[in-house]
Each structure stands twice: as C-alpha cells, then as structure tokens.
Structure 1
Amino acid sequence: MTLNARTLTLHGHEIHLTEYVPEVPPADEADVVLLLHGIAGSGHTWQPLLEHFERHGFGHRVLAPDMLGHGGSGTPRADYGLGALATLARDVLAVEGHRHATVVGHSLGGGIAMQFAYQFPEMCGRLVLVDSGGLGPEVSPVLRATALPGANVTLALTVNRVTLAVARSAAALGRRLGGRLSPETRELGAHFSSLAAPGHRRAFLSIARGLIDLRGQRASAVDKLYLAESVPTLVVWGARDQLIPLAHGRRTATLMPGSRLEVFEDAKHFPHVADPERFGRLLDGFLAENPPARLNFEEVVTLLIATNSVRTP
C-alpha cells in the first residue's frame, strides 16, 4: 500500500492531491473514497486516518484533495461557492478515472459532500458527514464574526508572520515545561495559521461570507436531505464540538431514516484526528455493511415530482 502526493492541473489551476492505493486492489474499484476537508484546512487533516490505513490496511482507493484556495492548491480570485467546490470534486474524480465515490466530508467538506450528492446523484454511492456544516444556523461566534466589516483587516493583524512566530515560541516553551497540545488543538492551530497567507485568507472569507452571516449559517441542506434517502449515510460528530453543535448531527440522523449517527464522546470538531483508529474502523465497517447506491437522473426526477407540489397553468 502506498501514499502518493501529486499535483493536478484543472481549468488552469493547480490542485494538490494525496492518494492512498491499497496493496491489493479491490476486485470492484467502482467506488473510490473521496475525503473533503473543512474551511481553512487541507487534505493534511486526513493524514492520521491515512496513516492508520497504511498500518492496518484498507481495501479501497482514497483521494484527499486540497480544495481550491486551500493547502497546496491554487488560490485564484474565483468562485468559492458550494456549487463550484462540488463541481471541482466531480472534476477531480473524473480526471482520475472514477465515476462513483463514497464522499466523506468534514465541516465545510460535509456541505460540499451534500451539494455533490445533490448536483451529481448518479456519482454518489455513500455519504459520510463529519461535524458537517450546512445542517442548521447555529455556529460558533468566531465564524459569525467573519461577516463583520473589517474582518479581512482583523485577520491580517491577528494571523501573520509575527504572531505565528510568537505562537510557535510559546508552544515550544510549553513543551519544554512538560505541556502537550492535543491532536485536535494542533489541527485547529494549523487551520488558523493557514490564514496568514493572503490567498488562503481571501478564499476563507469568500467561503465564510457566502455561507454565514451574523445570525449563523444561511446555507442549509436540511430541506433537501430527502433526496439522499436511498444513499447509505453515516453521520459522525464530536460530542464536545464548540464550532458546530452535536444537535445538528442528531437532527440530521432523524431527518434521514436509515442513516447512522456515531458520537465520539471525547472529541471536539475533529473526531477523525482525535481518534483516527476508531474512525478508520468505523468507516471500514460502514463500507462493508452498506453497498453503494446507484441512482440515475430519472429516479431523482421521480422523487422530486412525488415529493413536491407541481402547479399547472
């Protein structure tokens, strides 16, 4: 089994991609696992999980791209809306030769995953939503503050080379004194530190302001969840998440009959980082127990017509 890192060029922009290839390729590679990270993150957030796969084996090919505006991918002035990011996910799959995927999305990545299932239902075999955005208005005040005037200036003054150097020195001193940051705290720090780069900061604000205002999340997939009723869905949440509350996960599991909710009691916003071994076993079992859906456009149209009222002249 191997982990490969490489760069794709899509629509003139570089996309950094990490790929896990199992030692023994599965007989049916129809469903690749696509891992989508959250806002201000990168594919590196899945590194503990990928390392778990390397240690213990995992029978599926995995793709973990850095979405546009994040990580090692390009940061152009571009459309960073959910629809555009879902289309980018589709294009990554297409150029890699995959027509179906199990889509695993964390935070913003969960919103992209649901948008992907909505836009490209024939490509989405299974869904895994991890502390997902887009499932209710309640979010941390820190995220709502991105809608305030002057947020760009505030971020530039708060996260820059000087402040990051001070933070690194403080962390090093803490380690010498015997302190230790949790994996989730380090992951959150990496997300926050990425905003020191102007391109990443621009993408972050573009995404956040498109989805969030001072009252919370505007974008919601709740009213469209019924369209994925035949898609096997796993909902994973950290019980101590202070960015997006567990109540969103519980509500989603209720609205999607047949879905499964798994709560990591000791985790916050990054359960896949807090306990990658448990997450990996959970994902492996979910894939083994749930054959992927195979929807087509006609089935989606039938469901839309059956569920919604259609006015005639």
Structure 2
Amino acid sequence: MNEEQKQQGTGTGEDFEEQLRELLAGDANTIRPAPVPYPAIRRRGTVERRRRVAATGAALVTLVAMPVGAYALAGGDAGGNTVASTPPVSATPRTSATPTPTPSASPARPAQPATEDQLLDGITFGQAVDGLKECLAYEQSHTLGPADFRTDLGAAEEYRIILAMNSTGDSNVSGDGMYVVAVKEQPKQTRLICNVKDGKANGVNAGVGSDDVPGAGPVMADINGGKLYQQSFLDRGNWKLPFRWGVIGTVEPSVARVTVSYGGATSQAALDHGWFVASGVLKQQVTVAPRIKGYDADSKLVYDSDKDKSYEKQLP
C-alpha cells in the first residue's frame, strides 16, 4: 500500500460515504437514458413524409409525361436489367357502335304476271304498275254521281297485272299508247282494262263481278275484251297494220290449255290464276273474231268458241 492509499484509507467514514454517493450518482446517470425528445422525433417524421410525397408526385409526373413508345425497365436475373419496348397505345377514344338501320319494308305493289310473255313490246313491270296507278286515280276523279253509289276499285297493290302491251290509235281514239289489264278477286272479282298515253290515263274500262252466264262453258272470253283485239268500227276494212292484239278471259280449274287463233295464226295462251291471256301481231285485215279453244289435262277439247252461242264471232 502506497502512501496515497494509506492517506485515503485513514480518512473518516463520513468522507468515504460522501465519495461513495457521488460515484453511485454518476453511474446512475450513465445507465439511465435521457428523456425521449418527442418534439424532435415528430418534426423529423413530418419532414420524411413530405419528402416521400414529393418523390411520389415527381414519379407520377414523369410517367404521365413519358411519350408513347417509351422504354420501361424490366427486372431479370439473366444479364441484369433489360430494356423492353412498350407497344404504342392508341389514343383514339372509344365510341359507341353505330346501330345498324332496320331495312324498311318494301312498298306494296301489284302481283306480277305468271309469265314473262304477258309483258309485251318492251313494257316493264314498273311501267305497267305506274300505268295501273294512273288509271285508278283517273277513274276515282272522273266517276260521276253521289259518292255512296260509286264503285270503289281499291288500290293498285290489290291487283294482279295479267297483260301489258302497246295500243294502236284509230279514228275513234287517236295516238298510240299502252294497254294495262289487271284483275283482283277480293272483295269482288274486278277486271280493269286501262289505256295510257304519254303517261296519262286515256280511258278505263272496269268490270266488277263475275261475267258468268247460264250455260257458259269452262272457258269464257271477257265480255269487254274486244277493245284489245279490234280497232274502231269507223275504220272497218282500213286498220293500221301491223296490229298488236290481245284476248283475255276466265277458265275453270279443269282447263289445262287454251289456244287462240286470229288472222290465220294460233297463239298459246298463258294461264294465270283462273285467267287466260293470249296475244299476237295481226298483219292482215280481218272480219272474224278470234277463235278460242280449251283443253283438259288429257288434251281433250272441252271448249270451242265457234260452238258458244254467247260468243260474238263476227267483228262489227
């Protein structure tokens, strides 16, 4: 023991206790941490949050500002980071599909003839329809008498056109034109013979109701059909030739074939829903009416106009 230790060891007990308390107090301050500085921590956290928000906003602005076709970094182990091309993005706005328009219904029209041979001399079906409409309008506006007693001929679409052919003017009605013949069954059987010249109706002959007479055969020529196959009686013996003619009438279901002979030539008639239609071109003057014959399915003669007492065999 050296001299200093001896001197310290010889100190009083009070001095020793005082020194001990000082030593213990110093150690306690070393072991116990200082109070937590809450205000400083709070400020630091606020600053950090603001920094992150600012960094995120800058990144978003950068993404928005990147042009189409920019490059993006794709992570990968092989070869480190690689650069991949981003496909262009269309900037065209999406628009709703345009609805497909519903096709409008076709306008109602008259029924067409059963055969093409019933539209003659280059007359089209459309022209025949226009002629029929013109004639119906003409008949409606020129019918005399009280409205309650007029016969309503109906609309064009109710009819079937069975014949259209050229008409030849004569001394009674001058100027060439076109004949249109149309029929319908409901509400009553109706037949129209219409003459059109220069697009205007020149005359209409209408028959409403059946022309059947007692004792009539399975074939019956139209009672007013003579205007289709003869010229005016004023020109008797001096017809304009060549002359387009036509013959129409009704047939029963048992009739399978009809022929019409006129001016030395014979024509095969078309059968069209209970009507027969025949036509030809006359190249010589005649005085005898067309001769009509009807046959059944076995080619048996079932009608001959020469034997029909109700049929006028001579021309006026």
Fold-level similarity (TM above 0.5):
no
* Greater Rg by CA: 2
Query: If each structure's strand is expressed as a fraction of its own residues, which one has the higher value?
Result: 2
**Bigger RCO (CA 8 Å, 6+ sep):** 1
TM-score range, shorter chain: under 0.3
